[in-house]
Each structure stands twice: as structure tokens, then as C-alpha cells.
């Protein structure tokens, strides 16, 4: 009976049924079979949906979409170009840094490739970077800021795994920088080989770019500094960011019109929030049921029969998560897979923050892996290139990210050191 239901639900999921209805169905059926009132699903939904930290999700998402719709991507690129353009391969660094900041703010929902990729790709090619490299770089950068504040993925992970979100943000700093740094070094090498002409550094250009973006420069400092310094909680940072971005883009830069554009951006961004919260709402009931039934414990015993060492477990975990990343988007993966994995990983004595970094890095790679990585499709649409061509262009980047993943996996200190040093709670 149970097997038939599970197979049917998986089939429906593969046919494209909204995931929240699949999870909802599973929760309803599980409660029904266990003779528990289905109201329990709603009680859990109410509990998770009114968690104080959840307020950060709509506020940050709105701010990110507003930034993407304004002219701030262009100002940010100009500023980064004035700062790094003089380095060999500097333009590629511009791509990495701006995309990382942007992805962190827009929650890796594909907005980065649409808003920034279209801007950056032509510049890369014009500046003599190889076409294939440029395409690969822009595509891979579409999800590269996932580990930095105020990434939606981190907030969601913290909620589901019951880990402090502020700690997660601090833990993500070094792994995130390692990822950006590795791709940066590679880009510099490619730039040097391709004889990309260097811009000369000019204080004048930097000054005018900085003046242009004067109102946006405080933003990353506010969010990142505020959270790392323990000045703000993630929720407070979200409140300040949403208000600040609204005032700056609408009333100071006047990029967007208050009555014509803002409501449109609000609705656009809240569709994503609604889709994520719909999954979160039904999943919480299912999760609690699974925990009550000690399913993770049973899974762990099953796993332990075959795997005894921590190292082997980590290898299997990575392989498993890469496959998950190929099949699922990051939000549903967090909601569905995290509750099952966290208890097992705890038994293998993997620190929750370390596990979070492993998980998120895997899912980040999943955005790029054929056959179904989201970034591949977005790039293919945006740059009008065949999927296969795009997939080939990201291979090197996937390779580099896999190396970084190995380092993140086997050097837990990378994820934990900063949290311990700063004493973030």
C-alpha cells in the first residue's frame, strides 16, 4: 500500500505537479494512516509560518528584485570595473564579484543571469576573452553568492535544520570566498593567456563610479558587516535593507516609479516567496511526522550497515547530494532532504554548520550540472546558444567547484574557524 502511494507520488512529481502538493499529499496520507487528525499539518504550518526569522525572506527577496530591476547592476559593474579592471583578467573578477553580491541578494533564483549576465557577457567577449570561457563564467557565476548573506538558501536551511542563521552566514564566509577565489585565479590565468588588454587604473574613473553608486555602496557593508559584526540579526538586516533599497532606488536614483514599477516588482518577488513558503508550510508537518516515526534513525541504521567510517560517509553524501542537485532546485532540496540528512550526519559527528556548507556547495554545483541545471537553461535562453554548447562551457568551472567542494568537505575548520573566532551565537 505505502509503496504504491510513494510510487504514485513520485510519478506525479516527475510529471511536473507542484512540489508543495506532493509534499502536502504525503503529509496528509501519513497522518491519516497514523490515525492523527490532518489538522496537525495545519498546526505545524501555522507554527513554521509565524516563526520570527521568516520575516527576513519576503523583505530580502523584495529588496533583491528591486535592485535587479533598477539600474544598480550597471552601477555595480562600473564600480567593480574601476576597481579591478587594471588587473590581468580583471574583468572576469568583476563578473565574479558583482554576480556573487547579486546572487546573495536575489536568492539564486536566476535573476543574476538575467539581470547581470546580459550586461557582462558582451563586455567579456568585446575585451577578447574566449567566447566559451565567457559563457561558462557568466553561467557559473549565476549561483556563486549562495553562501554569503543575505542568501535565501541559507535562511531557509537555518529554519529547516534548526541552526542559527547568523552562525550560518558567518560559517559561509570562508568557503564562499574560497570558491570565488578559485574561480578568480583561473580567470586571471585565462585572461593572461588570451592577451586581454588591461585597462589602466584611474583614480578619476574610480571616483566617478563610486560617486554614481554612492547610495548602494553602504548596502553590502550594512548587511555583511552588520551580521558578521553581530550588530544586526538577519531579520533586522532584512528590515533595514528593504526600506533602504526602496527609498534609494525610487526616491533618490528614481530608477523605478513608485506606483508604476514598485507594485509590479512586489508581486513578481512575492510569487517566489509564495512558492517557497507553500513548500515550507506543508513540509514542516511531514518532517515532524518523519521524526516522530524515527525514520532518520532507521535510515541511519541502514546506512551504518554498509558504511562505518566518517570519510566514506562524506564521499557517499557528496555523491548523493550532487544527484539531488541535478534533479531538484535548491529550495525544495533543502526542505525535503535536509531533515533526513541532518540526524544521520549528527550520528557521524559532522558539525551542523559544516554539513550546511557541504550541502549548499553541492546544490550550488547542481545549478550547473547537465541534464537539468537551472543556470544552463537560463543561459541558453538569455544568450541564445544551444544547451549543449553551454554545458560544455561550464565543464571546467564544475571541475574547479568540485575541487573546492572536496576542500570544504575534508577541512571542516574552513567552515567552523570563523564562527569560533568571532564567537557568533
Partner 1 sequence: MSLLQRLDSFLNKFESALLVFFLTVMILLAFLQVVLRNAFSEGILWADILLRHLVLWIGFLGAAIATSHDRHINIDALTRFLTGRVRSSAKVLTYLFAAAICILLFDASLAYIRLEVDLDSTVYEEIPSWYAAAIIPGGYALLAIHFLIRVALAMNALVRGEKR
Applying CB under 8 A, the residues found at the interface with partner 1 are 12-21, 24-25, 28, 37-39, 41-43, 45-46, 49-52, 54-55, 57-59, 62, 235-236, 238-240, 242-243, 246, 263, 266-267, 270-279, 281-282, 327-329, 331-332, 371-372, 377
364 CB neighbour count, 10 Å cutoff: 26
Residue closer to partner 1, measured from CB, 84 or 359: 359
> Least distance to partner 1 from the beta carbon of 90, Å?
37
Task: In whole angstroms, give the CA distance from residue 276 to residue 15.
Answer: 19
Report in angstroms how near the CB of residue 270 gets to partner 1 at its nearest. 4
Q: Write out 181-239 in H/E/C secondary structure.
A: HHHHHHHHHHHHHCCCCCCCCCHHHHHHHHHHCCCCCHHHHHHHHHHHCCCCCHHHHHH
Q: Which long-range contacts (CB under 8 A, 24 or more apart) does 344-351 make?
A: 344/296, 344/299, 344/300, 344/303, 345/313, 345/317, 347/300, 347/304, 348/310, 348/313, 349/310, 350/310, 350/313, 350/314, 350/412, 351/412, 351/415, 351/416
Question: Rounded to the nearest whole angstrom, what is the least distance from the CB of residue 406 to partner 1 in the complex?
Answer: 26
Task: Report whether 23 contacts 47 (CB < 8 A).
Answer: no
34, 157, 177, 179, 220 from 265: Cα distances, Å: 43, 25, 30, 31, 21
Query: 166 or 329: whose CB is closer to partner 1?
Result: 329
According to DSSP, residue 113 is labeled I
CB of 217 to partner 1, least distance (A): 20
Cβ distance to partner 1 smaller for residue 222 or 315: 222
Q: Which is nearer to partner 1, 25 or 179 (CB)?
A: 25
**In the complex, least distance from residue 388 CB atom to partner 1, rounded to whole angstroms:** 14
Decide whether 179 or 335 has the Cβ nearer to partner 1: 335
Q: How far is the CB of 137 from partner 1 (least distance, A)?
A: 25
* Alpha carbons 17 and 9: distance in angstroms, whole number: 9
For partner 1, the closer of residues 59 and 171 by Cβ is: 59
Closer residue to partner 1 (CB): 25 or 154 = 25
Nearer to partner 1, 179 or 328 (CB): 328
Query: Which grid coordinates belong to 359?
Result: 550541502
The span from the first CA to the last CA of the chain, in angstroms, equals 46
Residue 56 or 93: the one with the smaller Cβ distance to partner 1 is 56
Backbone torsions φ then ψ of 16, nearest 5 degrees: 100, 15
Run of H or E residues at 271: helix 262-292
Minimum CB separation of residue 412 from partner 1 in Å reads 31
Cell of 171: 560559517
Least distance from partner 1 to the Cβ atom of residue 263, Å: 5
Smallest gap from residue 58 Cβ to partner 1 (A): 6
Please say which residue, 125 or 266, places its beta carbon nearer to partner 1. Answer: 266
- CB neighbours of residue 3 within 10 Å: 7
Q: How far apart are CA 73 and CA 329, in angstroms?
A: 25
- Least Å distance, CB 398 to partner 1, is 18
Amino acid at each position: 500500500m505505502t509503496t504504491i502511494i510513494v510510487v504514485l507520488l513520485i510519478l506525479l512529481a516527475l510529471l511536473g505537479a507542484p512540489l508543495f502538493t506532493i509534499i502536502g499529499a504525503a503529509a496528509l496520507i501519513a497522518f491519516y494512516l497514523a490515525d492523527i487528525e490532518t489538522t496537525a499539518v495545519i498546526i505545524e504550518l501555522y507554527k513554521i509560518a509565524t516563526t520570527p526569522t521568516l520575516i527576513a525572506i519576503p523583505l530580502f527577496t523584495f529588496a533583491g528584485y528591486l535592485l535587479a530591476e533598477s539600474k544598480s547592476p550597471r552601477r555595480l559593474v562600473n564600480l567593480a570595473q574601476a576597481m579591478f579592471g587594471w588587473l590581468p583578467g580583471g574583468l572576469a573578477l568583476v563578473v565574479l564579484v558583482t554576480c556573487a553580491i547579486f546572487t546573495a541578494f536575489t536568492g539564486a533564483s536566476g535573476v543574476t543571469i538575467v539581470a547581470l549576465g546580459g550586461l557582462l557577457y558582451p563586455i567579456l567577449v568585446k575585451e577578447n576573452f574566449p567566447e566559451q570561457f565567457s559563457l561558462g563564467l557568466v553561467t557559473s557565476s549565476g549561483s556563486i553568492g549562495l553562501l554569503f548573506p543575505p542568501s535565501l538558501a541559507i535562511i531557509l536551511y537555518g529554519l529547516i535544520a534548526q541552526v542559527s542563521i547568523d552562525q550560518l552566514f558567518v560559517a559561509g564566509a570562508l568557503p564562499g570566498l574560497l570558491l570565488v577565489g578559485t574561480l578568480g585565479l583561473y580567470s586571471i590565468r585565462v585572461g593572461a593567456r588570451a592577451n586581454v588588454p588591461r585597462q589602466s587604473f584611474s583614480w578619476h574613473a574610480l571616483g566617478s563610479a563610486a560617486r554614481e553608486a554612492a547610495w548602494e555602496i553602504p548596502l553590502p557593508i550594512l548587511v555583511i558587516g552588520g551580521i558578521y559584526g553581530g550588530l544586526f540579526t538577519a531579520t533586522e538586516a532584512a528590515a533595514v535593507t528593504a526600506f533602504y533599497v526602496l527609498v534609494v532606488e525610487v526616491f533618490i536614483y528614481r530608477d523605478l516609479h513608485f506606483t508604476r514599477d514598485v507594485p509590479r516588482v512586489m508581486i513578481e518577488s512575492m510569487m517566489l516567496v509564495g512558492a517557497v513558503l507553500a513548500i515550507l508550510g506543508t513540509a514542516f508537518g511531514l518532517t515532524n511526522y518523519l521524526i516522530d516515526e524515527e525514520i532518520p534513525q532507521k535510515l541511519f541504521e541502514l546506512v551504518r550497515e554498509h558504511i562505518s567510517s566518517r570519510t566514506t560517509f562524506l564521499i557517499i553524501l557528496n555523491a548523493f547530494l550532487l544527484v539531488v542537485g541535478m534533479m531538484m532546485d535548491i529550495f525544495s532540496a533543502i526542505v525535503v532532504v535536509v531533515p533526513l540528512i541532518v540526524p544521520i550526519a549528527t550520528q557521524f559527528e559532522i558539525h551542523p554548520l559544516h554539513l550546511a556548507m557541504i550541502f549548499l556547495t553541492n546544490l550550488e554545483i547542481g545549478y550547473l550540472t547537465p541534464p537539468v541545471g537551472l543556470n544552463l537553461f537560463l543561459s541558453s535562453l538569455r544568450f541564445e546558444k544551444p544547451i549543449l554548447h553551454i554545458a560544455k562551457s561550464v565543464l571546467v568551472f564544475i571541475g574547479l567547484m568540485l575541487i573546492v567542494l572536496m576542500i570544504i568537505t575534508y577541512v571542516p575548520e574552513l567552515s567552523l574557524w570563523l564562527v569560533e573566532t568571532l564567537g557568533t551565537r
